[in-house]
A and B are shown apart, each in its own frame.
Chain A
Amino acid sequence: MTQRSNAAASKQPPKLSIHQRSRVLARKETLSAYLFLLPSLIFFLGFVVAPMVMCLVYSFFDMGLNMDEATFVGLGNYFEMFQDAIFQKGFLNTVIIVVVAVPTVTAFSLWVSSAIYQMKAFTRSFYRCVFYLPVVTGTVAVTVVWKWMFNPYNGLINQIFDSVGFNWLGNSSTALACIIMILFTTSIGQPIVLYVAALGNVDHSLVEAAQVDGATKFQVFWKVKWPQIMPTTLYILVITTINSFQCFALIQLLTSGGPNHATDTIMYYIFDMAYKYHRFGYANAMGVILAIIIAIFSAVQFKLAKSET
């Protein structure tokens, strides 16, 4: 099609000014671009953008499963959230999970990666494989085996610590820590793969130049390598933050938010609100708030990372 229009344009140059011709081409290119985009746009608009809009709209309604019985409540759902003690508890727990898990995962994966990236190819891929194992094992499979290991009566953990009968997941002072620990094992695989790749791509001539100038290993790392892997760090921070905020399977399968809401998170409370209490409007309002909180966290990380380099 484009070919033909090119030929047509060159055959009759006097009829079309350059301006007109470029406009025809631009229109053709726009048309073909949208044809390429069409299949993807159908899915994106239909199953991502539309539910996002619905989420926002429904958050202003008091509604159950049946949409016909919805009543407009304005910001009512949002006001309710601020008085809902369980929501606040869930909010606090979510923030604890994020604030503990994100820096730990990032720092730890950086340490492992810098320890293994200069090893022999086989050893390096062995460790990379090992740390990625919980991801491919699958969240649910990993969670159920930990549930067994934490079992008070026949779990391995109590055998090892000689503390038979201690209920790790049923105790409000240890449950959240256990969940963060398991979340940690399932979150660390991807950052390690990313850091190993990024450290391998660091410009070696700069490292050598610094060494010739007598920089210590520590200085080489902070002054030469760290700035170069900054984009990777930023990416890892953002994906780990989003994943930690959305941590759900672990909570549902291990503790169901208990004991006494000690491990409730916003995500789990949203689920409870929608499926146990059928309060879809309220659940959607919490979803909107969760999205805003994640956006703020990501933006802050972007700002911090930008100011560092």
Chain B
Amino acid sequence: MKTKNRLSDTPMSYRIFTIVVLILLAIFFIFPLYWIITGSFKDNKIIIAQDPQWFPLTPTLANYVKLFDRPALQWLLNIVVICVGAMVLTCLTASLAGYALAKKRFYGRAFLFGMITCAMALPKQVIVIPLLQEMSAIGLHDTLWAVILPTVGWPFGVFLMKQFSETIPGEILEAARVDGASEVRTFCSVVFPMIKPGIGALAIFTFVNTWNDYFMQLIMLNSEAKWTLPLGIARMQGEMSNDFGLIMAGATLAAVPIVAIFIAFQRYFTQGISMGAVKG
């Protein structure tokens, strides 16, 4: 009961202040998304008018018609292919490597882990320029692979899966070995089920980060057919900086699917994000 008393210690005025500030902030954080979506349905005359229309009273699909004159669906497909490709490859390679780093004793383990940790602290964008030269040299520049491959190489996933695999009890692995299970079998039927939540977290993390890695897409993808949706929006904004209706239509197409997925699977997102740092 003492706890309860202590909690209500906080002066009423401070609690009201907290709630008011939180509500104002919530409006401030939701508003850009609201403005994107409603803006995409506004006629250009309304958009360039000085008085803002808080809600599209005469909704129009003209912006979307203009958007789909461009290969916007191709851009959407490209970014989805990049994100899903990076996600699948990252989860696969990182869970194998993380398991080996956590549960196997081998020569070079400490060195390798040290290298991975150091690489993680470095800014990813710095290596993008030499990466561009590398990709041109191996003929992958201006292909979706040029974005996928470096994303898979980024060691955060290995680090996360290593932390996660530490929790697998050694006795279970020993038991599998005694029962005659091969290494591959042990991984598939013993290790994999135990690290599944970690893989889920990594999958979400990789997807969102790859989607937002605008710099990599900007450097690696040149031709219009290879652009991603974020890149397409940015380029359209550069070309016709005042056609906000069109740009908002593109932004809606990019934002609404992920926001919907996020709201539906919110629990997994928050678990995934916090998992990465529990021991990190």
A and B found bound together: yes
Interface residues of A (CB under 8 A from B): 1-3, 6, 26, 29-30, 32-37, 39-41, 43-52, 54-55, 58, 65, 67, 112, 115-116, 118, 125-142, 144-149, 151, 153-154, 156, 159, 164, 185, 190, 193-194, 196-198, 208, 211-212, 216-217, 231-232, 235-236, 238, 242, 245-246, 248-249, 252-253, 267, 270-271, 274, 280, 283-284, 287-288, 290-291, 294-295, 298
Structural contact, A136 and B97, CB atoms closer than 8 A: no
Q: Mark B116-131, 1 if CB is under 8 A from A, else 0.
A: 1001011111111111
A228 to B106, CA, bound (A): 34
- Contact A290:B123 (CB < 8 A) given known A43-B152, A54-B130, A140-B254: yes
Structural contact, A52 and B35, CB atoms closer than 8 A: no
Cβ contacts A to B, 8 pairs, < 8 Å? A26-B106, A34-B106, A36-B104, A135-B212, A140-B234, A144-B251, A145-B36, A298-B121
A208 to B5, CA, bound (A): 12
Structural contact, A290 and B259, CB atoms closer than 8 A: no
One of B49-57, B64-72, B192-200 contacting the partner: B49-57
Structural contact, B251 and A140, CB atoms closer than 8 A: yes
Q: Which residue of B lies closest to A239 (CB)?
A: B277
Q: Which residue of A lies closest to B277 (CB)?
A: A235
Q: Which residue of A lies closest to B96 (CB)?
A: A36
A268 to B123, CA, bound (A): 14
A130 to B123, CA, bound (A): 28
Interface centre among B101, B121, B254, B258 (most CB of A within 10 A): B121
- Contact A39:B96 (CB < 8 A) given known A54-B133, A146-B32: yes
Q: Mark B228-254, 1 if CB is under 8 A from A, else 0.
A: 001101100100000010011001001
- Contact A217:B6 (CB < 8 A) given known A39-B92, A267-B125: yes
Interface centre among A118, A153, A164, A194 (most CB of B within 10 A): A194
Known A198-B274, A211-B6, A280-B129; 14 more pairs at CB < 8 Å: A37-B96, A37-B100, A44-B116, A49-B115, A54-B130, A136-B262, A137-B259, A138-B230, A141-B255, A145-B39, A149-B32, A190-B273, A270-B129, A284-B130
- Write out the residue numbers on chain A whose beta carbons fall within 8 Å of the beta carbon of B230: 138-141
Q: Which residue of A lies closest to B205 (CB)?
A: A190
Structural contact, B266 and A125, CB atoms closer than 8 A: yes
Q: Which B216-230 residues have C-beta < 8 A from chain A?
A: 218, 230
Structural contact, B130 and A139, CB atoms closer than 8 A: no
Structural contact, A29 and B35, CB atoms closer than 8 A: no
Structural contact, B215 and A138, CB atoms closer than 8 A: no
A179 to B120, CA, bound (A): 26
> DSSP majority for the B interface?
helix
A284 to B116, CA, bound (A): 21
Contact partner, B233, options A140, A164, A235, A280, Cβ 8 Å:
A140
Interface residues of B (CB under 8 A from A): 2-3, 6-7, 9-10, 18, 22, 25-26, 28-30, 32-33, 35-36, 39, 47-52, 89, 92-94, 96-97, 99-101, 104-107, 109, 112, 115-116, 119, 121-131, 133-134, 149-150, 152-155, 158, 177, 180-183, 187, 208, 211-212, 214-215, 218, 230-231, 233-234, 237, 244, 247-248, 251, 254-255, 258-259, 262-263, 266-267, 269-270, 273-274, 277-278, 280
Count: A-B pairs, CB below 8 Å? 286
Structural contact, A29 and B105, CB atoms closer than 8 A: yes
- Contact A141:B35 (CB < 8 A) given known A47-B153, A197-B274, A291-B122: no
Structural contact, A154 and B129, CB atoms closer than 8 A: no
Structural contact, A138 and B3, CB atoms closer than 8 A: no
Structural contact, A154 and B237, CB atoms closer than 8 A: no
A254 to chain B, nearest CB (A): 10
B193 to chain A, nearest CB (A): 17
Structural contact, B248 and A2, CB atoms closer than 8 A: no
- Write out the residue numbers on chain B whose beta carbons fall within 8 Å of the beta carbon of A252: 218, 234
A159 to B100, CA, bound (A): 59
B152 to chain A, nearest CB (A): 5
Structural contact, B273 and A30, CB atoms closer than 8 A: no
- Contact A43:B258 (CB < 8 A) given known A55-B127, A130-B26, A211-B2: no
- Contact A26:B125 (CB < 8 A) given known A112-B25, A138-B212, A145-B248: no
Structural contact, A246 and B125, CB atoms closer than 8 A: yes
Structural contact, A44 and B153, CB atoms closer than 8 A: yes
- Contact A48:B154 (CB < 8 A) given known A133-B30, A193-B274: yes
Contact partner, A127, options B26, B97, B124, B181, Cβ 8 Å:
B26
Q: Which residue of A lies closest to B27 (CB)?
A: A130
A193 to chain B, nearest CB (A): 5
- Contact A159:B214 (CB < 8 A) given known A44-B155, A47-B131, A246-B125: no
- Top 10 nearest A-B pairs by Cβ distance? A40-B97, A36-B100, A197-B274, A43-B153, A47-B153, A54-B130, A287-B126, A30-B106, A140-B230, A141-B251
- Write out the residue numbers on chain A whose beta carbons fall within 8 Å of the beta carbon of B3: 208, 211
